[in-house]
Chains A and B, each alone.
Chain A
Amino acid sequence: MRLRVNPIACAAHGLCAELFPEWIQLDEWGYPIVDDEPIPPHLQVHARRAVAQCPTLALVAEKA
């Protein structure tokens, strides 16, 4: 699994970085910087939670 941001939909709510800081940081304007490496199995539950909680559905999980 990998994470990707739809930058058009993203409105910098920042929840993703709260929920999955191991993989997502915010830039100085509040927009997520997402590691595009495949996510190891033990962290995928956090990735799924971040995807589900994004208020604008801008965080997308893709098959690695």
Chain B
Amino acid sequence: MTTPARAPSATQTLRLLCGFAKTRQPASWSEHLAEHGPLPSGRRRRGGDPRLLELVDKSGLTGRGGAGFPTGRKLRTVAGSGRAAVVVANGMEGEPAAQKDALLLAVAPHLVLDGIELAARAVDANHAYVAVHRGSPASAVLRAAVAVRPEPPMPVTIAELPAHYVASEESALVHWLNGGAAKPTFVPPRPFERGVGGRATLVNNVETLAHLALIARHGSEWFRQVGDVGEPGTMLVTICGAVRHPGVVEVATGTAVGEVLRLAGGASAALQAVLVGGYFGTWMDAELALSLPLTQAGLRAVGGALGAGILIALPDSACGIAETAHVLGYLAGQSANQCGPCVNGLPAIAGALTDLARGSWSPARRGDLDRWLGLVPGRGACRHPDGAVRLAVSALQVFAADVHRHEASRPCAGALVPPALPVGAPVSGSWR
């Protein structure tokens, strides 16, 4: 477990969102410059910009898309490829509950575009893409922002991909940009080795790039002044479920889950559990969750994951098993239908959980479920099945008391009401 640099306060730390989140209108070019000042000048050089690379290393910036990988190390790998690279800003945000990247792109498009230019400079890229869902409001905002900015040193293309859940996976982005379906591919080669057009490709979450835009202006020391020592800075968190004001907040990393829920107006009902990390995350008993720090390391220490910074508060009145069965059904439907263990395993697991939620159960069924949960992880081309299984496994642990009642054909009242966890509208049709 890591210790916070200083005691996190129960207030937001608005570095990325500033005052723009209140209006939900995009900061104009002049508002952006008035708030943040101009981007430090620089130019592309072969092998990347050593000063910028060192700055990012020292800042300790980690990826905000889910994996939490050190950004500096990723940049260096791509910069060292020996030829011009490609930058892809990932603004796809496939999780139905997640809203943080949508909000960031809605209010601070120029900060993200600054970050893209800087990343391209850092790794010596001669083309950059911003990947967003086709038809999302973000694409119009980004196009308008690109049109009013000074000519960037490399073309920036707004790429609109089909809104399938797994299309936001980095190999799927690259495959689509190379003319294929927006489905994950068999790796290696990973995008940083061989990506768009066969070139080394940096895929970063849009929030990560926005932080980069501030680090380049204010320095690594400034960046480390707030947040956790090991994973410094601020982070955007989406809060939904049983809180008074669901939405997105910006807090210092390491802030306790309970503090973040307070920023969302506090719980609107007695809570039994919190889903930390979204649909690739884990259920946590409410009491345990409230004191947990929002860091990759802190959550990993208790078997959790930060994911893309999503918290879903589950009230006492809901049935955790029924909710999880519902989400698993959604995730099963969002498979790219490429890998046998995912195509067969996820519907089987979702079906068993649905039976359990309804109380139509037998010991043999439990044997099937446990076998499938052990059989599926690690056998897909991407992590989609692994994440879905992690969620299901955590539900069986955290809601163990409910599981016993359901197994005895006494499902709880919460299983009879429609599930509350958001799942996206089914995306049908083209993967192109």
Residues of B within 8 A of A (CB): 185-186, 338-342, 344-345, 375, 379-381
Nearest CB of chain A from residue B193's CB, rounded to whole Å:
15
Main secondary structure of the interface of A (DSSP, over half): loop
Instruction: Give CA–CA (A7, B186) in the complex, Å.
Output: 8
Name 26 A/B residue pairs within 8 A (Cβ), A-sorted: A6-B186, A7-B338, A7-B339, A7-B340, A7-B341, A7-B342, A7-B379, A7-B381, A8-B185, A8-B186, A8-B338, A8-B339, A10-B339, A10-B340, A12-B340, A27-B340, A27-B341, A28-B375, A29-B340, A29-B341, A29-B344, A29-B345, A30-B340, A31-B341, A33-B375, A33-B379
Q: How many whole Å from A5's CB to the nearest CB in chain B?
A: 8
Residues of A within 8 A of B (CB): 5-10, 12, 27-31, 33
- Number of A-B pairs, beta carbon distance below 8 Å: 36
Contacts of A33 on B, CB cut-off 8 Å? 375, 379
Report the bound CA distance from A27 to B345 in whole Å. Answer: 10
- A31 and B342 alpha carbons, distance in the complex (Å): 11
CA distance A1 to B341 in the complex (A): 24
Which chain A residues lie closer than 8 Å to B375 at the CB level?
A: 27-28, 33
Complex CA distance for A7 and B344, rounded to whole angstroms: 13
Tell me, in angstroms, the Cα distance from A9 to B339 when the chains sit together: 8
* Chain B residues whose C-beta falls within 8 Å of the C-beta of A9 in the assembled complex: 186
B172 to chain A, nearest CB (A): 12
Q: How far is the CA of A8 from the CA of B166 in the complex (A)?
A: 14
A7 and chain B: residue at smallest CB distance:
B339
- Nearest chain A CB to B346 CB, angstrom units: 12
Contact of A6 among B342, B344, B381 (CB under 8 A): B381
B381:A31 contact, CB within 8 angstroms = no
A7 to chain B: which residues have CB within 8 Å?
186, 338-342, 379-381
Given A27-B375, A33-B375, is A8 in contact with B341 using a C-beta cutoff of 8 Å?
no
Are A31 and B379 interface neighbours, CB within 8 A? yes
Other A-B pairs beyond A5-B379, A27-B375, A31-B341, 15, CB < 8 Å: A7-B186, A7-B338, A7-B379, A7-B380, A8-B186, A8-B338, A8-B339, A9-B186, A27-B340, A29-B341, A29-B344, A29-B345, A31-B340, A31-B344, A33-B375
